């Protein structure tokens, strides 16, 4: 059915949007569109856009004297309540939201109909940014110990793994096939990270061991992994589950490795709970917005257990990272190896490898450990209609754990908090095809790279918004080997207000220090780029003046030594030639002066402070829904709608695309549109 056919009512007027922190409720009009529910106040100063794909639940609350309340909860932690005057209109909006927020098929998702504006990057941009083979080549693989296996090229060995697998060079195809048959979902142990000291992180799923079952091929596989590291006589096998959960799985024919059967392994359990516990924990966390006292908030936070779960992930990731840095290889699994395993393997790599703490490196980490190795994004994020039992905040927890590390070590990360928030938003938005599907095979079947846009392409076009101004790529070292130590004391694990309370207008400061630092960082870069160009122009003008003086001296010398008796014809020629040179120099000087004037006017030397700016020039109110942006050309502050396409400024040497407002982007004397 066409999306527009599901919209039962085109607009509803006189709708009140409630504000829990004051009685200043907003009055406006609701517009259900093909992709968003939009609330607009009469003056157009406030606009709230609720993406259907972000909606978690829609609740019709009891009828009141002022109308029928409709509460909407979203996956990006927006909770908004609209009071609609007529119950019938409320019911129509309710039915529309239920249908449009839960598509029946993957092909009905937003990404398949989304069309970026012509000013954005082309559709193919971003899909070729990352390649799993290139990432392993960066780690020095393949080598003598590790080789590339083509056994899964058609996803026949394991349909939730990537087509290219890196395994011990000594492992035969029979060993690989036998190990895959002995592991849940066929997810055999394969390489995911190799340290320079030859210690490796390998990931897999639980063995189908039951109480006493054995598999010679699986035992050989783990022994081969051990032998790839000549610096250690043993290796760890980390089961991320609580011991009682793993023991219960033995009754179902699954379980964990018996140390008596596997040579030279040391087995460790860690207590990260399953998806059902995590889902319940997040549900409790989202109820904290109702708390009105300190004691109720703190009790609710403790009851949710959320911070305890985040700490458990960091603790497990740190155990793995510490073992690797000490030269001991680690094999990691949970039940099926696509939730908790992805969390702790990627956190360990984040702690070990400074590359993964850059924007490009973090994206590569997600591509490898989450997308390629089959984290079930569509199931866990509830992209399509389901019974909800598969939904769990696994990636949200990973983003939260990354934020904890960023907060503890702000100099170690190239990206900022807004980068993580943007990632979290688009995991659920389905605006881009990057995270649609449950595994690499799904994405190839859906032909997402041909039919949808990539999130990485979008982010590449807004890179300046994600830079952490405190990042020091060379100056920050936690230890001599650059391993990042997480602080695991209870008071060090913080409630992330910027994510879970990001839309609560009453609790945020007008300008955070991160926003101020980023503004200073961007302004400094703009001025430095401008100064480099001016320096080049000063040198050019100096050369022109020097050239002019030299030519004058040459002509003067020529006239003094000229003998008209013998050179009448050549005198005429030389005079004409010198006149042409002077005119050429004059023209060149005029062009340089004109160009310099244009360059001086194109870059703002002063940027307006955003601290006390409450409205855009278009009267849009700045709040948690409407971000502030500086125009690099005029230095004024605008909302998203008033910012134009990124353009190059005549006054900057690098000529890279930077944010400019629509007014400046339409002024050819200041900027030129970027066609990249």
Q: How many CB atoms lie within 10 A of CB 117?
A: 6
Nearest CA to 345 out of 360, 359, 329, 358 is that of 329
For residue 512, give every residue at least 6 positions away whose Cβ sits within 8 Å of its Cβ, in sequence order, or none.
none
Joined tokens for residue 467: 């830079």
Enumerate the H helices of 59-185 as residue ranges: 87-100, 132-138, 173-181
Residue 334 falls in the annotated catalytic set? yes
Quickly list DSSP for 311-370.
HHHHHHHHHHHHHHHTT--EEEE-SSSSSHHHHHHHHHHHHH-GGGGSHHHHHHHHIIII
For residue 176, give every residue at least 6 positions away whose Cβ sits within 8 Å of its Cβ, in sequence order, or none.
149, 151, 157, 167, 188, 217, 221
Region of residue 360 (phi > 0: left; psi between -120 and 50: alpha; otherwise: beta): alpha
What contacts 24+ positions apart, CB below 8 Å, involve 536-545?
536/653, 537/592, 537/595, 537/596, 537/599, 540/592, 541/589, 541/592, 541/596, 544/585, 544/588, 544/589, 544/592
Quickly list DSSP for 563-609.
-HHHHHHHHHHHHHHHHHHHHHHHHHHHHHHHHHHHHHHHS-SS---
Do 102 and 94 meet the contact criterion of CB atoms below 8 Å apart? Answer: no
Cα–Cα separations (whole angstroms), residue 418 to 38, 49, 359, 467, 489: 23, 19, 12, 9, 25
Do 433 and 111 meet the contact criterion of CB atoms below 8 Å apart? Answer: yes
Nearest CA to 200 out of 173, 225, 224, 172 is that of 225
667 SS3 class: coil
What is the C-alpha to C-alpha distance for residues 634 and 603, in angstroms, rounded to an integer?
7
158 SS3 class: coil
Find residue 16's DSSP bridge partners: 27, 83
What is the C-alpha to C-alpha distance for residues 583 and 224, in angstroms, rounded to an integer?
79
Nearest CA to 9 out of 70, 54, 63 is that of 70
For residue 577, give every residue at least 6 positions away whose Cβ sits within 8 Å of its Cβ, in sequence order, or none.
none
Nearest CA to 106 out of 451, 428, 371, 383 is that of 383
What is the C-alpha to C-alpha distance for residues 79 and 289, in angstroms, rounded to an integer?
9
What is the C-alpha to C-alpha distance for residues 340 and 401, in angstroms, rounded to an integer?
13
Joined tokens for residue 191: 């390489």
Phi, psi of 28, rounded to the nearest 5 degrees: -170, -160
What dihedral do alpha carbons 401, 403, 409, 410 form, nearest 10°? 170
What is the C-alpha to C-alpha distance for residues 347 and 563, in angstroms, rounded to an integer?
86
Q: Angle at CA 124, nearest 5°, toward 119 and 130? A: 120
Cis peptide before 247 (omega within 30 of 0): no
Check 111, 204, 334, 381 and give the catalytic one: 334
324-348 exposure pattern, b = at least 16 Cβ within 10 A, e = fewer: bbeebbbbbbbbbbbbbbbbbbbbb
What is the C-alpha to C-alpha distance for residues 649 and 656, in angstroms, rounded to an integer?
8
Pairing of strands 235-239, 330-333: parallel
What are the catalytic residues? 334
């Amino acid at each position: 059915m066409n999306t527009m056919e599901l919209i039962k009512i085109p607009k509803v007027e006189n709708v009140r949007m409630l504000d829990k922190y004051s009685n200043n409720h907003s009055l406006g009009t609701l517009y259900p569109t093909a992709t968003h529910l939009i609330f607009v106040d009469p003056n157009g100063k406030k606009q709230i856009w609720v993406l259907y794909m972000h909606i978690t639940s829609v609740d019709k609350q009891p009828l009141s004297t002022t109308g029928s309340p409709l509460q909407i909860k979203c996956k990006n932690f927006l909770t908004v309540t609209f009071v609609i005057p007529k119950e019938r209109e409320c019911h129509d909006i309710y039915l529309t939201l239920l249908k449009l927020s839960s598509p029946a098929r993957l092909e009905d998702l937003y990404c398949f109909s989304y069309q970026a504006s012509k000013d954005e990057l082309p559709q193919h941009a971003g899909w070729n940014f990352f390649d799993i083979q290139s990432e392993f080549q960066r780690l020095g693989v393949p080598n003598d110990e590790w080789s590339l296996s083509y056994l899964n090229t058609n996803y026949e060995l394991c349909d939730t793994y990537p087509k290219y697998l890196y395994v011990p060079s000594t492992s035969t195809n029979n060993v690989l096939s036998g190990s895959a048959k002995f592991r849940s979902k066929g997810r055999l142990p394969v390489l995911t990270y190799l340290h320079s000291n030859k210690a490796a992180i390998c990931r897999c799923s639980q063995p189908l061991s039951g109480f006493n079952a054995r598999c010679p091929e699986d035992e050989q596989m783990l022994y081969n992994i051990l032998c790839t590291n000549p610096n250690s006589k043993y290796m760890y096998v980390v089961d991320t589950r609580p011991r009682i959960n793993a023991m219960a799985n033995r009754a179902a024919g699954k379980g964990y490795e018996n140390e008596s059967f596997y040579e030279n392994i040391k087995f460790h359990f860690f207590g990260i709970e399953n998806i059902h516990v995590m889902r319940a924990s997040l549900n409790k966390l989202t109820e904290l917005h109702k708390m009105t006292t300190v004691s109720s908030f703190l009790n609710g936070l403790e009851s949710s257990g959320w911070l305890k779960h985040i700490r458990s992930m960091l603790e497990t990731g740190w155990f793995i990272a510490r073992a690797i840095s000490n030269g001991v290889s680690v094999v990691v699994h949970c039940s099926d190896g696509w939730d908790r395993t992805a969390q702790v393997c990627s956190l360990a790599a984040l702690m070990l490898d400074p590359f993964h703490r850059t924007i490009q490196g973090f994206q590569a980490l997600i591509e490898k450990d989450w997308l390629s190795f089959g984290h079930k994004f569509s199931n866990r994020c509830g992209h399509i209609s389901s019974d909800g039992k598969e939904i769990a905040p696994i990636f949200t927890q990973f983003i939260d754990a990354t934020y904890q590390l960023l907060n503890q070590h702000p100099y170690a990360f190239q990206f900022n908090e807004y980068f993580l928030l943007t990632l979290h938003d688009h995991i659920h938005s389905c605006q881009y095809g990057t995270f649609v599907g449950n595994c690499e095979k799904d994405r190839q079947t859906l032909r997402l790279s041909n039919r949808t846009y990539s999130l990485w392409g979008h982010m590449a076009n807004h890179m300046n918004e994600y830079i952490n101004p405190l990042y020091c790529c060379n100056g920050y070292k936690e230890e001599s080997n650059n391993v990042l130590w997480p602080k695991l004391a209870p008071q060090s694990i913080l409630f992330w207000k910027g994510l879970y309370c990001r839309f609560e207008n009453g609790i945020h400061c007008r300008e955070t220090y991160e926003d101020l630092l980023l503004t200073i960082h961007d302004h400094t870069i703009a001025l430095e780029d401008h100064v480099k160009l001016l320096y080049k122009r000063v040198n050019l003008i100096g050369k022109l003046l020097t050239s002019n003086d030299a030519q004058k001296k040459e002509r003067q010398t020529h006239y003094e030594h000229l003998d008209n008796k013998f050179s009448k014809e050549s005198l005429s020629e030389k005079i004409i030639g010198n006149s042409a040179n002077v005119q050429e120099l004059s023209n060149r000087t005029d062009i340089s002066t004109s160009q310099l004037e244009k360059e001086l006017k194109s870059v703002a030397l002063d940027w307006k402070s955003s601290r006390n700016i409450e409205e855009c020039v278009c009267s849009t109110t700045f709040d948690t829904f409407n971000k502030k942006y500086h125009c690099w050309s005029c230095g004024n502050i605008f909302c998203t709608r008033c910012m134009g396409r990124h353009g190059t400024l005549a006054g900057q040497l690098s000529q890279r695309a930077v944010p400019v407002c629509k007014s400046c982007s339409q002024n050819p004397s200041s900027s030129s549109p970027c066609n990249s």
